Amino acid sequence: MPELPEMETYKSLLQPIIGGQSITEVMINREKSINVPIEEFASLVLHQKINVIERRAKYLVFHLQNGSCLLLHLMLGGRMFYGKEEDRPDRTVQVQLSFGNHHLYFIGLRLGYLHLLSPEMIQQEFQHIGPEPLDQSFSLHTFQTIIKDKRGGLKTTLLNQEVIAGIGNRYSDEILWHAQLLPERKTNELDTDELARLYESMQYILQKGIQQGGYMEEPLFKGDGKTGDYEMYVHSREGENCRRCHSLIVMKEISSRKTYFCQDCQH
C-alpha cells in the first residue's frame, strides 16, 4: 500500500505536469471506484482545471476550478500512470482522466477509490486523522504529548492514522528498526531518550523515503527517474542479515500485519 512518501512523490511529480491543465475526457471502467453516478461525475469533472494537488496522510486531493475536489486513496495495490495511450501499462484501468493526448490512469483501484466531494466533505473525511509527522508544527514536544497517554504497542500505535498520519506497515518497520526499538514495546514504557530517538527516526525515514521517491518501483511516467529508489532496511527482508548488526531479520505477525525486525539490535 502506498504510504506518505509514495503519495508525496506522486503529488510533487504530478503538480507541475497537470496543475493548471483542463480535463478533456473522463472514462470510468469501474463504477464502484467513484461515489456518484458516472454521468454526474463526468459532468462535474469534465473541462475543469486542476488548480492544485494536496496530500493529507495517504490521500491525494485534486482541487478543481469549480470548487469540487477529487479524493484519491489507492489502498492496497493501487497506482497511477501518466502518459500517452501507447505508453500505458498492460493493466486494467478503473478510471482515466485525459489531458489532451496524455492521460492519467488510475490502476488497481479494486479497493481504492476516486471520490468527488466538496471541500466541506473533504474536511469531514479528515477530521479524525492525526497530525502530519513532517509538518513544522509537529515538534518533539508535540509527539511526546500525543504518545504519553497511549498504552498500545509501538507498531500498532504508528499504524493508527488517528494518532499520526501517513505511516503504514512498511515505514513503521523501517522507523522502529532505525530507532532500535522492538515493535511490541509498549509506548508508555519508553523513556525520554527512546521517545526522542523514535521521533528522530520517524523524521529521518519519512524524509529519506520522499527524497528517494518511495519504494514503489513502477514509474509514474515514461522516463520517471525518481520513483522507487527507496530501499528497505528491514521490511520484507526476512532471513537476510541486519545492516547494522548482521543478525538475521525475522518476521512476526502483529495486529494481522507482517512485521519485520532484528531481535538483536532492536530492544
In which domain, by residue range, is 87 found? 4-126
Taking the C-alpha atoms of residue 258 and residue 107, their distance in angstroms, rounded to an integer, is 25
pTM attached to this predicted model = 0.96
81 in a structural domain: yes
Nearest alpha carbon to residue 17 among 52, 68, 48? 52
User: What mean pLDDT is predicted for residues 156-164?
Assistant: 97
Are residues 146 and 121 both part of a single domain?
no
- For the chain, give the mean pLDDT: 97
Residue 40 has pLDDT above 90, yes or no: yes
200 in a structural domain: yes
User: What sign does the dihedral 10-12-16-21 (CA atoms) show?
Assistant: positive
133 in a structural domain: no
132 in a structural domain: no
Active site residues: 2-3, 58, 257
Domain end, chosen from 126, 161, 194, is at 126
CATH code assigned at 199: 1.10.8.50
Question: Into how many domains does the chain fold?
Answer: 2
Confidence band for 148, pLDDT divided at 50, 70 and 90: confident
